A and B are shown apart, each in its own frame.
Chain A
Amino acid sequence: MTLTAKDVAEITRLLEESDFDELTLELDGLKLAVRRKGAAAPVALESLVPATPAAQPPSAKESASLDEASVSQTITAPLLGTFYRAPKPGAPPFVEVGSPVEEETIVGIIEVMKLMNTVRAATRGRVAAILAQDGALVEYGEALMRVSKAAGA
């Protein structure tokens, strides 16, 4: 069983026209999860998740217990670069553990070839954990912070 790009586009269109936010399709050996923009996790509209033992989800940390997943969100790096927690050296960090955040709150900066890109929370809640080190290279999709929904959201 194979899926062509055309098939994926067609499935995406069907979802767009429906009242559902999420669709999971399992064919033998292939699992397709499609989510509408704006729904839950800040991931790309479509993602092909191999259902093979060798394959791993993008971040192993994310597959925590169901309870935790329902109350916490992960802020991931929107691009590869150097992660900074503060607007400039010596300045106070954008957020600390416990800081309240809203969708538009800036939580850090990622520098790519001298260009500073802001990282926004894209979710509401309180910062529960800061996972990425200040000044460290982060990859695309790497978990930067965990935001707890339960407290204050």
Chain B
Amino acid sequence: MSLRRVLVANRGEIAVRIIRACRRLGLETVLTVSEADRDSMPARLADRTLCIGPARASDSYLNVGAILQAALAARADAIHPGYGFLSERPALAQGCEEHGLIFIGPTAAQIEAVGDKLRARAQAQATQVPVIPGAAVEGGAQALAVARRLGLPLLVKAVGGGGGRGMKRIERLQELMPLVELAASEAGAAFGDARVYLERFVRRARHIEVQVLGDGEGDVIHLGERDCSVQRRYQKLIEETPAPGLPDSFRHRLHEAAVRFAQAMAYRGAGTVEFLVDLERDEFYFLEMNARIQVEHPVTEAVTGIDLVAEQIAIASGAGLRLRQADVECRGCAIECRVNAENPARDFEPSPGWVSAARWPRGDGIRVDTHIEAGAQVPPFYDSLLGKIIARADERDAALERMWRAIAATRIEGVISNLPLHSMLLANREFQQGGVDTGFLTRLLEGAPMSVEAQLG
């Protein structure tokens, strides 16, 4: 099926990114916006913009019916969901399938399969992809045996829980039975399901993910990994590729595991398999698969020279995989800093408003993905991402140096940004050495709380 017109069901920098990719490919674009984004940069760039609802995302960007209606009325052939919003809700992919539209992403069934954490875990195990060691607790003696096998510390988790609820950490063996019993009775009261299981607690870990592309027929390639360990409350701040200090054999095992996982489900489109790398045991575990294009995809593009959005569109239009594994070559190092409208001095409180001045960096090896220019609004209804700065160089040190200069050359006025935090991180010895764990940023912030003066200075 040939593609002529693409509806972009997203906002912000990723909408700009997708519209530009479509333009390069000679495709027309239709953008669906909320009332708050009528005058946004993507609204100006798109060939046509349709307002689908009020500012609140649940009434606009999450409104499947309105987006499908807009696609059909504007005679779009395909919908690109971007990231967030409806990108991983099976309902939009399903709706596209029912109405003869191409969903630029995986099938609804694949979105569902990786969205269910227990199913995804089972599938990882079935394809010999390691998961965090754990087991259900059936009785006292068995729990003790499990604890001895897994080693301490452990987490006791409620089967019916999620998002950190119903979780307890066990540091000593004598705490095991009292805490397991407490967790079970709490789980029964809170979730109506008293079943609990034990899982190894990974004290020091890195978050490393592998980018894959699949043709939907079982052919899958990887495009290397990204290290996203600089994060706070699961919000990534800096990503880079390759993951620094990783032995090549370990790196290859990660790549192969990701490909195996995606291959088993004949994954279609661009996806990311996330792993937790246990630094104390030199092991890695499957975390989850993200069935979408990711915020940090440009670092992969910077070292491979492959346009991931263009490949997504090619796969969706039926062209299959245009690349073989041997065609993918990662050259140099790339790093991305997420510039957010938030105040690190006030617990990362969002800082929406009107951007009175914006100056983004330029130069060799620098890429900026943004929808923000002077006069832009940062509405309080959505995420606070202002833009992403990507720096590439042959060596990591040079990429960091380039990024440091790029951050220094960036100016955002009118809203508070996290630029000073990026400068601080890039100057940090531990980060410069590479290979920090996921607790690094939190420890750093606790040790050096940023003052408001430092923020505005």
Let me know if B380 and A8 touch, CB within 8 A: yes
Residue of A5, A82, A140 near B35 (CB, 8 A) is A140
Let me know if A137 and B352 touch, CB within 8 A: no
Most buried by B among A4, A29, A80, A82: A80
B397 CB–A CB distance under 8 Å? no
Residue of A2, A137, A141 near B414 (CB, 8 A) is A2
Let me know if A30 and B354 touch, CB within 8 A: yes
Minimum CB–CB distance for A28 against chain B, Å: 8
- Cα(A79)–Cα(B69), bound, Å: 11
B1 CB–A CB distance under 8 Å? no
- Cα(A53)–Cα(B354), bound, Å: 13
Residue of B51, B55, B353 near A80 (CB, 8 A) is B51
Most buried by A among B50, B74, B350, B380: B380
A113 CB–B CB distance under 8 Å? yes
- Cα(A128)–Cα(B68), bound, Å: 33
Let me know if A112 and B354 touch, CB within 8 A: no
Residue of B35, B73, B351, B380 near A141 (CB, 8 A) is B35
Residue of B39, B351, B352, B380 near A55 (CB, 8 A) is B39
Which A residues are CB-close (under 8 A) to B349? 4
Which A residues are CB-close (under 8 A) to B60? 140
Let me know if A79 and B53 touch, CB within 8 A: yes
- A 1-51 contacts with B by CB, 8 A: 1-5, 8, 29-30, 44, 47-48, 50-51
Which A residues are CB-close (under 8 A) to B415? 2
Which A residues are CB-close (under 8 A) to B69? 80-82, 112-113
Which A residues are CB-close (under 8 A) to B53? 79-80, 140
A139 CB–B CB distance under 8 Å? yes
Minimum CB–CB distance for A80 against chain B, Å: 5
Which A residues are CB-close (under 8 A) to B354? 2, 29-30, 50-52
- A 93-124 contacts with B by CB, 8 A: 112-113, 115
Let me know if A79 and B73 touch, CB within 8 A: no
Residue of B50, B54, B416 near A2 (CB, 8 A) is B416
- Cα(A141)–Cα(B380), bound, Å: 20
A70 CB–B CB distance under 8 Å? no
Most buried by B among A47, A51, A56, A140: A140
Residue of A48, A50, A139 near B50 (CB, 8 A) is A139
Minimum CB–CB distance for A133 against chain B, Å: 13
Residue of A30, A113, A115 near B353 (CB, 8 A) is A30
Which B residues are CB-close (under 8 A) to A79? 52-53, 66
Minimum CB–CB distance for A36 against chain B, Å: 17
Let me know if A140 and B52 touch, CB within 8 A: yes
Question: What is the number of residues of chain B that contact chain A, defined by CB distance less than 8 Å?
Answer: 33
Let me know if B54 and A140 touch, CB within 8 A: yes
Chain A contact-residue range equals 20 to 34
- Cα(A54)–Cα(B41), bound, Å: 11
Minimum CB–CB distance for B95 against chain A, Å: 8
B379 CB–A CB distance under 8 Å? yes
Which B residues are CB-close (under 8 A) to A50? 39, 354, 375, 377
Which B residues are CB-close (under 8 A) to A3? 352-353, 380
Let me know if A2 and B66 touch, CB within 8 A: no
- A4-B38 contact given A52-B375, A112-B69, CB 8 Å threshold: no
Let me know if B380 and A5 touch, CB within 8 A: yes
Most buried by A among B39, B51, B74: B51
Query: What per-residue 1/0 map shows which CB atoms of B435-456 lie under 8 Å from chain A?
Result: 0000000000000000000000
Minimum CB distance partner of A113 in chain B: B65
- A 46-92 contacts with B by CB, 8 A: 47-48, 50-56, 58, 79-82
- A4-B356 contact given A44-B54, A80-B51, CB 8 Å threshold: no
- B 341-364 contacts with A by CB, 8 A: 349-354, 356
- Cα(A141)–Cα(B381), bound, Å: 18
- Cα(A81)–Cα(B35), bound, Å: 15
Let me know if A2 and B35 touch, CB within 8 A: no
- A54-B375 contact given A4-B352, A140-B51, CB 8 Å threshold: yes
Query: What per-residue 1/0 map shows which CB atoms of B9-45 lie under 8 Å from chain A?
Result: 0000000000000000000000000011011000000
B391 CB–A CB distance under 8 Å? no
Which B residues are CB-close (under 8 A) to A81? 66, 69, 73
- A5-B375 contact given A79-B66, A139-B51, CB 8 Å threshold: no
Let me know if A80 and B52 touch, CB within 8 A: yes
Which A residues are CB-close (under 8 A) to B36? 48
Which B residues are CB-close (under 8 A) to A29? 353-354, 356, 414
Let me know if B352 and A5 touch, CB within 8 A: yes
Which B residues are CB-close (under 8 A) to A1? 353
Minimum CB–CB distance for B40 against chain A, Å: 11
B316 CB–A CB distance under 8 Å? no
| 27 residue pairs bridging A and B, Cβ less than 8 Å apart | A2-B352, A3-B352, A4-B350, A5-B380, A30-B354, A44-B54, A48-B55, A48-B377, A48-B380, A50-B375, A51-B354, A53-B375, A54-B39, A55-B39, A55-B375, A55-B377, A56-B39, A80-B50, A112-B65, A112-B69, A113-B69, A137-B70, A137-B73, A139-B51, A140-B51, A140-B60, A141-B35
Closest 3 CB pairs of A and B: A2-B353, A5-B380, A137-B73
Given A47-B35, A80-B51, A113-B69; 15 other pairs, CB 8 A cutoff: A3-B353, A50-B377, A52-B354, A54-B39, A58-B38, A79-B52, A80-B52, A80-B53, A80-B66, A82-B69, A137-B74, A139-B51, A140-B52, A140-B53, A141-B35
